[in-house]
Amino acid sequence: MLRKLHADCCEVSTPAKLNLSLEVSAQRPDGYHELETLMVTINVFDTLRFTQAPAGHLGLCNHWCVSRQHHTTPDSLPTGPDNLVLQAASLLLRTTGVSRGVDIDLFKRIPLAAGLAGGSSDAAGTLVGLNSLWNLGLSLSDLSELGARLGSDVPFFLAATTAAICRGRGEIIEPIRLTTSLHFVVVKPAAGLSTAQVFQNCQPAQVPISSSGLVRSLQCGDLGRVGLQLFNRLGAPAEKLCDQVSQLRDRFTRLPVLGHLMSGSGTSYFGLCHNSQQARQLAGRLRSTHPGQVFAVQSCV
């Protein structure tokens, strides 16, 4: 994940994730929902480059690495203090009290508002990158505690595991060891969805569905059963808010995949494939008929 380029510059690659299950069991007094979600990192990456700068200077330059034909919305990627990269850098300065500066180049490939957690992954990458560049000496558990303040998915990316069950509001991580690579075809339609809006429209489960069966199937490499156990409580509210998600569900129902699901709070939709060849072949088919971005991906190793 972290590469030192030279003494005053380093680079971090930050992956996207897919949720293979996501249950919402209750709204908490703090306004968050109680979750149980199984997440896997996939090989679509943003890259962050950190270059030492005079103390007090926090610079960010976004580079959009996806061509215009892909219906993404580069305009909604904040360039200022709302960007999670700058929020992570500011939080590190505030909590450690050090006097440092940095110029950050963000090479963006993970689609926005897609349920792929690109922003959270960038925030995790920034904590790791600046901890190294600025020689802060913070432990993984320190970084994780800071990460949870920036977003519920951030600790997952800091855990540096391919897969994990995430509980609480998502910040309590139980790593899962995958016995086999997972191959997916992923479609990000033109529309995006706001995570907050999808949760507002979600009815928490009376009897929550546990991810333990899915974990067992993953651990014994039974992909057929994994496909049958994919589940997302946020799918129904997302479909109500966005036609493109229900259209994708219909489309995937007619594809020969092992199972299919919306990731996170949408709008990305994925199919679990038999192997990499099938993922590439289905991506080709979907690209020719479907507007949006289409990826053939696999779980990170």
Q: Which residues are tagged catalytic?
A: 17, 153
Instruction: Output 118 or 259, the one with its CB closest to ligand ATP.
Output: 118
Position 114 contacts ligand ATP (CB under 6 A): yes
Residue type, 143: L
**Part in contact with ligand ATP (CB under 6 A); list of ranges 76-84, 200-208, 223-231, 286-294:** 76-84
**Part in contact with ligand ATP (CB under 6 A); list of ranges 49-57, 81-89, 183-191, 217-225:** 81-89
Q: Please tell me the total number of residues recorded for the chain in this structure.
A: 301
Residues paired with 102 in a beta bridge: 52, 58
Query: Rounded CA gap, 210 and 41, in Å?
Result: 21
Query: Rounded CA gap, 184 and 31, in Å?
Result: 33
Position 116 contacts ligand ATP (CB under 6 A): yes
**Part in contact with ligand ATP (CB under 6 A); list of ranges 78-86, 93-101, 224-232, 288-296:** 78-86
Binding pattern for the stretch 119-138 against ligand ATP, x by CB under 6 A and - elsewhere: xx-x----------------
Position 83 contacts ligand ATP (CB under 6 A): yes
Report the run of H or E that residue 160 belongs to, with start and end. none
Query: Restricting to residues 175-214, which ones interact with ligand ATP according to CB under 6 A?
Result: 195
- Options 18, 20, 24, 85; binder of ligand ATP; rule CB under 6 A: 85
CB 226 within 8 A of CB 16: no
Position 164 contacts ligand ATP (CB under 6 A): no
- Options 22, 92, 117, 215; binder of ligand ATP; rule CB under 6 A: 117
Strands (E), the chain: 2-6, 9-27, 33-53, 58-64, 101-108, 163-168, 172-176, 183-188, 231-232, 259-262, 269-273, 293-298
> Sign of the CA dihedral 33, 34, 40, 41?
positive
Position 159 contacts ligand ATP (CB under 6 A): no
Position 168 contacts ligand ATP (CB under 6 A): no
154: closest CA among 118, 129, 106? 118
The footprint of ligand ATP (CB under 6 A) covers 76-78, 82-85, 112-120, 122, 153, 195, 264-265
